[in-house]
Chain A
Amino acid sequence: MRRTLAIAALLFAASAQAETPRDFLTRFEKEAGAAASAERGARFFTSKQGGEWSCASCHTDKPTQAGRHAKTDKPITPLAPATNAERFTDAAKVDKWFRRNCNDTLNRICSAQEKADVMAWLLAQK
């Protein structure tokens, strides 16, 4: 019983703890089984990957700055953690937006390696 409670408390503490942007880089590198490349991430982010838009179409090629939705024109807050502390702190949001935006720009989901590369590049933006 005591052990169950201890495990439950540990699980709760783990889930209540917010993620940091670095946690996502670690997670994606682990899933990919290879180190990330910020240089590859930059190329991936700023050029079209099969779809009508690239990541930069909305987030601009300077993700420390605000962007605009390519279709609706709605302002988008900066994506780089250096200028927007809210980014990459919630796994559900991160997974939701990678799913949607990869489908929009690549017509498929992104690989763990692609996500790791983008994370490495975004973290390098100051």
Chain B
Amino acid sequence: MKTLIALPALLVFLALPAHADNYSVPKNAAFEEECTSCHMAFPPQMLHADSWRAMMNGLSKHFGTDASLDEKRRAAITDFLVANANGRKTGTTRDAAGNPLLRITETARFEKKHSEISAATFKRASIKSPANCTACHRQAAAGDYNERSINIPK
């Protein structure tokens, strides 16, 4: 009887990490066309809605480049990001001054998950920057950030 209860509990436990690291990106044509012309599709779940709103209000100076859009598209993509924002453990994504964080790499969850990766590793030619998820998370484009899919290049 005890094993009968323990088995489903064990299965649920085993399934949890996989679920937590699954950030499959919902389908959205405008988001895909506009955002992935320059970079991979960062999952909307990785930032709080306020962060996405702030990001989409500053596209003409988007991390040093002009990523401005016409108003119709800008509003549509903002709605999509806000509707899908905030994953299970992301929580608020604000800096010490209370401003919305714009970089996923500055969120508490990112820092906690990458605490054992040195700055030098992130700077390797094969990785370039912490924002280059696919360098190590080979299936990141499909939303798979699972431990098993990690392969850190030399």
Q: Is the CB of A71 within 8 A of B68?
A: no
Q: Is the CB of A71 within 8 A of B65?
A: yes
| Interface residue A100 (Cβ < 8 Å from any Cβ of B) | yes
For this complex, 29 residue pairs linking A to B, each with C-beta atoms less than 8 Å apart, are: A69-B38, A69-B39, A71-B63, A71-B64, A71-B65, A72-B38, A72-B39, A72-B40, A72-B131, A72-B132, A73-B128, A73-B132, A74-B36, A74-B38, A74-B39, A74-B40, A96-B69, A96-B70, A99-B66, A99-B68, A100-B65, A100-B66, A100-B67, A100-B68, A101-B66, A103-B60, A103-B66, A104-B65, A104-B66
Give the A-binding residues of B (Cβ under 8 A): 36, 38-40, 60, 63-70, 128, 131-132
How far in angstroms is the closest Cβ of chain A from B60?
8
Total interface residues on A, CB under 8 Å, equals: 12
List chain A residues, Cβ under 8 A from B69. 96
Give the B-binding residues of A (Cβ under 8 A): 69, 71-74, 92, 96, 99-101, 103-104
Nearest B residue (CB) for A52: B64
List chain A residues, Cβ under 8 A from B128. 73
A74, B38: Cα distance in complex, Å = 6
Nearest A residue (CB) for B65: A104
How far in angstroms is the closest Cβ of chain B from A118?
17
Nearest B residue (CB) for A103: B66
Interface centre among A92, A100, A101, A104 (most CB of B within 10 A): A100
List chain A residues, Cβ under 8 A from B68. 99-100
Q: Which 10 A-B pairs have the closest CB atoms?
A: A103-B66, A100-B66, A72-B39, A104-B65, A104-B66, A73-B128, A69-B38, A74-B39, A72-B38, A74-B38
List chain A residues, Cβ under 8 A from B60. 103
List chain A residues, Cβ under 8 A from B131. 72
List chain A residues, Cβ under 8 A from B70. 92, 96
List chain B residues, Cβ under 8 A from A69. 38-39
A69, B35: Cα distance in complex, Å = 13
List chain A residues, Cβ under 8 A from B39. 69, 72, 74
- Could you list 7 further interchain pairs (A-B, Cβ under 8 angstroms) beyond the known A72-B132, A74-B36? A71-B64, A72-B40, A74-B38, A96-B69, A100-B65, A100-B66, A104-B65
A72, B128: Cα distance in complex, Å = 8
Nearest B residue (CB) for A69: B38
A103, B59: Cα distance in complex, Å = 12
List chain B residues, Cβ under 8 A from A96. 69-70
How far in angstroms is the closest Cβ of chain A from B90?
22
Nearest B residue (CB) for A70: B65
List chain A residues, Cβ under 8 A from B66. 99-101, 103-104
